[in-house]
Amino acid sequence: MSLTYLEYDFKIDPLQPATDILIAELGELGFESFVENETGLLAYILKCEWRDGVLEDLFVCQNPNFEISWTSKEIEQQNWNAEWEKNFHPIKVGEKCMVRAPFHEAVEVDYDIVIEPKMSFGTGHHETTHMMLQHILDTDFSGKSVLDMGCGTGVLAILAKKKGASEVEAIDIDEWCYLNTQENVERNDCADIKVFQGDSSLLDGKKYDVVLANINRNILLEDIPIYTTCLKKGGFLFLSGFYLEDLDAISSKCDAYGLEFEKNIEKNNWVAAKYVN
């Protein structure tokens, strides 16, 4: 049976950082997918999950620094999926890695990753995912045990595995991300990646050589002590999902738990940082 979605077309001025704040707030309301465009954002939610009046209470919509308006319409699931396909473009990271959908043609690269463009975050389009992929490309993963925390589509876990990681686990609290990651690891011949649904409470007693966490500032600050506990001596912690102005707070928390800042990548004010245990 075809499910009915509501498509909200948000016009946003200026686009950043309002778009990112809006995505975060809409995600808490039950919106399941987002497509950024030149004028703002398309956001999708199941009609049966919608509640009238909730948009007016959004913090970002009340901010005088942003102008945000919207229209909405019903859209059948098949059309909604077609919208994703129309807006999903292959992403090349450096010269070695391509992230593409099944309907894109393959190109000659060392790491060809095929991601079904469903509702999960982590296709490589967002700056944070792109930078985390850069960090992985610049790191030797041969024989290492790896955790992809907040895995989204599983794209980071998949690249780590393709780069020679011996054991990879991927965790996400969202059921759709969990299911989508399972599909994608099989699609990329990485079915031995273990995928779990849950949060950092699943990490009790675990040990990894590398921890990848692309989430958001508040969750990272809360969970850095846990990541440190499950990181082997000499291991690497890669963090993203926060802005440049948050780097000092993230680094201070890591330093308090014995992690040494090594380097960071910056793109459009987003940051992905590397720490060593």
Query: What are residue 147's phi and psi, to 5 degrees?
Result: -115, 130
Identify whether the C-beta of residue 43 lies closer than 8 Å to the C-beta of residue 34: yes
d(CA 232, CA 230): 6
Size (the chain), residues: 277
User: Is 150 annotated in some ligand binding site?
Assistant: yes
Tell me the torsion sign for CA atoms 102, 117, 125, 82. Answer: positive
Identify whether the C-beta of residue 157 lies closer than 8 Å to the C-beta of residue 168: yes
What number of other Cβ atoms are within 10 A of residue 179's Cβ? 16
Q: Please name which of 142, 144, 126, 137 lies closest in space to residue 214, comparing C-alpha atoms.
A: 126
User: Is 152 annotated in some ligand binding site?
Assistant: no
d(CA 150, CA 156): 10
d(CA 170, CA 211): 10
CB burial string 82-114: b at 16+ within 10 A, e below: ebbeeebebbebeeebbbbbeeeeeeebebbbb
User: Is 172 annotated in some ligand binding site?
Assistant: yes
SS (H, E, C) 123-153: CCCCHHHHHHHHHHHCCCCCCCEEEEECCCC
Identify whether the C-beta of residue 8 lies closer than 8 Å to the C-beta of residue 68: no
Numbered residues of the known binding site for S-adenosyl-L-methionine: 129, 150, 172, 214
Numbered residues of the known binding site: 129, 150, 172, 214
